[in-house]
Structure 1
Amino acid sequence: MSALTETDPKAAGFDPAALARIEPWMDRLVADGRLAGLSVAVARRGRIAFARACGQADLARGTPFTLDTVARIYSMTKPLTSVAVMQLYEQGLFQLDDPIARVLPEFSEMRVAVGGNRAKLETEPARRPITVRDLLTHTAGLTYGFMEATLVDAQYREHGIDFLAREGTLANMTARLAKLPLLAQPGSAWNYSVATDVLGQYVTAVSGRPFADYLRDSVIAPLGMADTDFHVPPALMPRFCAAYAYDRERRLRPFDDSVETPFAQPPAIASGGGGLVSTAADYQRFCRMILNRGTLDGHRLLGRKSVDLMLANHLPGDLAAMGTPRFAETSYTGIGFGLGFSVMLDPARAQILGTAGEVAWGGMASTAFWIDPAEDLSVVLMTQLVPSSALPIRRELRVLTYAALAA
């Protein structure tokens, strides 16, 4: 259950009146029918300065959205998977520039799409192997089928490359993926992709344990994230929310039910890129571990230098220079990428309030978080609207939060 107990915002260095602006912003989103419900948790200096929820977790059943609501966090799974990878790296089991084919030989002879059409794709050999760092930074040349932007995306759809599929195995899906061409030469471009799902299989191969078991035992359990898993057990189902999308009239319609949902059963494939459900309180515990440079409540999950490395920009420039000027509702000018997170490089170029060195990411259903080490700040937003580009709520919440900093 929730451990989001508020303290005096002043003690956390906030202007209480300015921080309180978040609540009417939340209320308006619900009252205007743009969101069914949402929660926001703002923590600074080890204190919860703001924690509110409003609206409905399930419109049909009249279930309120609370700070304990269990939500699909989709791609907010990726940072946890990246922590698992870095734990194994710390054990000396591989180097970040190792070719993944040393452990996953199906990736040993990759080819790269260079032209052609859907009937016949033209390819050339990859100029270098895919490395572990490439997977962590989304520069491996992989993609997602749902992007629907390239011929390689179309091949993913044609061959059923979907790590959220409810049948098959992680090993089999990874092997099928490796038979398809890359979108770009490894290391040459940033493309959001199934790379973190491949890292799940890499964790399995390196650790000798099923990825889901390793993640639960080595990351989720030590963090005390009691409501986080790849499915919702029966005891938590009353707190699980429905997901929504807009119809043509911009009205909310069901996307996934809170009861008749695939998440009620353990999945066939544990998706390291998007398979977890969680709560605002649980994810704030993950954020606090990162802010503590690897520790939480006496448990050390990573060395402090490993956390520093994860939070550094690993690209030669920003994401815009690597071929991605925008993603979701966000401009990627002035934004880099570390080992599992986006990294703020320059708030002025990004045209948003923030701090150089903060890291962030979000999920397909509009959930989001960011961690600002310089301000000792972390913010978690939980809601369930697909896709995440439907509303600019992440940017709006950033402005409301940073504008309230007073000390």
Structure 2
Amino acid sequence: MMDFKPLASFIDRITSWRIPWAEVLVMHKNNTVFRYRNGFANLEEKTPISEGAIFNLYSMTKIMTCTAGLQLVEKGDILLRDPLSNYLPEYKEMTVKKTLINGDISLEKAARPITVRDLFTMTAGFTYDISSPSIQEAVKSTNGTLSTRELAKAIAKEPLLFEPGTHWNYSMCHDVLGALVEVVSGRRFGDYLRDEITGPLGMKDTTFDLNEEQQARLIPQYIFNDDLDKAVRMDGNGFRVGTELESGGAGLLSTVNDYALFLNALTGHGTSPDGVKILSRASVELMRTNHLNEQTSKDYSWDHMEGYGYGLGVRTHISKSLSGSLSPLGEFGWNGAAGCMAIIDPDSELTVMYAQHLLNSQENYVQRRLRNIVYSCI
């Protein structure tokens, strides 16, 4: 017998602490077995969080971007081993920043090309510096309209932090992957996602640009201010540096219901309960395989990811003794800057969509506890 009281009381606890509101949706064998929310969508007006609230997914966008990229692998349009410059020619000649023994920085020609796989696995050598000179220049020269494709061209002008494939660094790899999807499919990235993923799955609220009705459901975003000891309003998406940018790394907005449809299709090895296939079982297996090696795994050292490897755009559970997690090996997913989190578990037939909208998200505290509580309840 499933008993979700501990999960409800955890949501009550964190929403009476620092987090303005939180919501969790648990699906087991394609049925919603638990759903609970508490807290205020708008702290100032004390508006309770309600159904249909739209919020920023931020990096949880990455799971969908990598799904789109894997669809192109399945079609034979790209291979993971391909040099990226086969499709985005600006990546042909890259320079790498090297620190010399005397501490000086030298720029050297990259010895190996960035591959498509490097984009998926965060091993390309990019940074997450949206204020880098090349990006700022591109924003200026496009009068603030900077598109997905133009962002990729700007990123290519910056020196790499390391030789491609030699280190792991969380970066704008998946923004460039979005541009790759555009070029290879011949469609705008957002159009591609609508045609191939969100449309077929019946997702009506997952988009880069909200219509008027959706805009009315977009709820405030907060950041916790330690000096004031309270959450203060901080709206907007700082990663959206251009009005035309459809950021594969951090651009989507969605609702709990809507994104759960996508996550649950991945739990179903790539096929929704209605039989809509967005990926093959083989691709989902490849996605949740750990792609780090001895060298790159040293860089993947975030505290709350201990016991997890990194697959194609997702964390993947590889060691119970290190993680202390109650989830099985192979449980995978990712999270977003404002604290939303996905748990995708094909073996247990379990999908969890957790949401909140607080920029310093307290993920170290919340996410591991939430996962353990979920697994203890089923």
Is this a same-fold pair by TM over 0.5? Answer: yes
Distance in 2, matches of 1:93 and 1:66, equals 42
Cα offset for 1:268?
1.5
Q: Establish whether residue 311 from structure 1 lines up as the match of residue 288 from structure 2.
A: yes
Other-structure match for 1:256: 235
Cα offset for 1:130?
0.7
Pick closer, same or farther for the CA change 1:58–1:163 going to 2, 3 Å: farther
Cα offset for 1:35?
1.2
Q: Deviations over 1:232-258 (max 9, x none)?
A: 22112332211100222331101117x
Q: 2:309 is paired with a residue of what secondary structure?
A: strand
Q: Deviations over 1:193-238 (max 9, x none)?
A: 1000001110111011111111111111111111110122211233
Of residues 178, 183, 189 in structure 1, which corresponds to 2:167? 189
Q: What is the one-letter code of the residue matched to 1:160?
A: I
Distance in 2, matches of 1:105 and 1:360, equals 31
Distance in 1, matches of 2:185 and 2:197, equals 14
Distance in 2, matches of 1:292 and 1:27, equals 30
Q: Establish whether residue 29 from structure 1 lines up as the match of residue 51 from structure 2.
A: no
Distance in 2, matches of 1:163 and 1:222, equals 35
Distance in 2, matches of 1:252 and 1:99, equals 45
Q: Establish whether residue 198 from structure 1 lines up as the match of residue 176 from structure 2.
A: yes
Other-structure match for 2:321: 348
Q: Is the 8 A contact 1:39 1:66 kept in 2?
A: no
Other-structure match for 1:275: 251
TM-score by length of 2: 0.91
Other-structure match for 1:72: 56
Pick closer, same or farther for the CA change 1:162–1:268 going to 2, 3 Å: farther
Q: Deviations over 1:342-381 (max 9, x none)?
A: 1110121123332111111000001111112221111111
Distance in 2, matches of 1:334 and 1:164, equals 39
Correspondences of 1:165-176 after superposition (within 5 Å):
167-176=145-154
Q: Is the 8 A contact 1:72 1:276 kept in 2?
A: yes
Q: 1:252 is paired with a residue of what secondary structure?
A: strand
Q: Is the 8 A contact 1:362 1:368 kept in 2?
A: yes
Q: Aligned-pair RMSD on alpha carbons?
A: 2.6
Other-structure match for 2:339: 366
Q: 1:336 is paired with a residue of what secondary structure?
A: strand
Pick closer, same or farther for the CA change 1:292–1:376 going to 2, 3 Å: same
Segments of 5+ residues of structure 2 without an aligned counterpart are: none
Q: What is the one-letter code of the residue matched to 1:308?
A: E
Of residues 185, 196, 199 in structure 2, which corresponds to 1:221? 199
Other-structure match for 1:20: 5
Pick closer, same or farther for the CA change 1:295–1:101 going to 2, 3 Å: same
Pick closer, same or farther for the CA change 1:394–1:333 going to 2, 3 Å: closer
Distance in 2, matches of 1:163 and 1:285, equals 36
Q: Establish whether residue 180 from structure 1 lines up as the match of residue 133 from structure 2.
A: no
Cα offset for 1:288?
1.4
Q: Is the 8 A contact 1:366 1:382 kept in 2?
A: yes
Identity of matched residues, %: 35
Q: What is the one-letter code of the residue matched to 2:78?
A: F
Q: Is the 8 A contact 1:366 1:388 kept in 2?
A: yes
Q: What is the one-letter code of the residue matched to 1:194?
A: M
Q: Is the 8 A contact 2:239 2:250 kept in 1?
A: no
Correspondences of 1:45-124 after superposition (within 5 Å):
45-115=29-99, 121-124=105-108
Segments of 5+ residues of structure 1 without an aligned counterpart are: 1-9, 147-155
Q: Is the 8 A contact 2:20 2:41 kept in 1?
A: yes
Q: 1:134 is paired with a residue of what secondary structure?
A: helix
Q: 1:23 is paired with a residue of what secondary structure?
A: helix
Q: Is the 8 A contact 1:51 1:67 kept in 2?
A: no
Q: Deviations over 1:5-58 (max 9, x none)?
A: xxxxx3xxx3x1xx21111221222223x1111110111111111101111111
Cα offset for 1:161?
5.9
Would you say how many aligned residue pairs link Structure 1 and Structure 2?
371
Q: Is the 8 A contact 1:311 1:338 kept in 2?
A: yes
Of residues 209, 216, 219 in structure 2, which corresponds to 1:231? 209
Pick closer, same or farther for the CA change 1:131–1:110 going to 2, 3 Å: same
- Mean Cα deviation higher: 382-391 or 102-111: 382-391
Distance in 1, matches of 2:210 and 2:43, equals 19
- Mean Cα deviation higher: 363-372 or 303-312: 303-312
Other-structure match for 1:377: 350
Other-structure match for 1:160: 135
Distance in 2, matches of 1:338 and 1:198, equals 17
Q: What is the one-letter code of the residue matched to 2:48?
A: P
Distance in 1, matches of 2:320 and 2:7, equals 21
Pick closer, same or farther for the CA change 1:280–1:214 going to 2, 3 Å: same
Distance in 2, matches of 1:394 and 1:163, equals 36
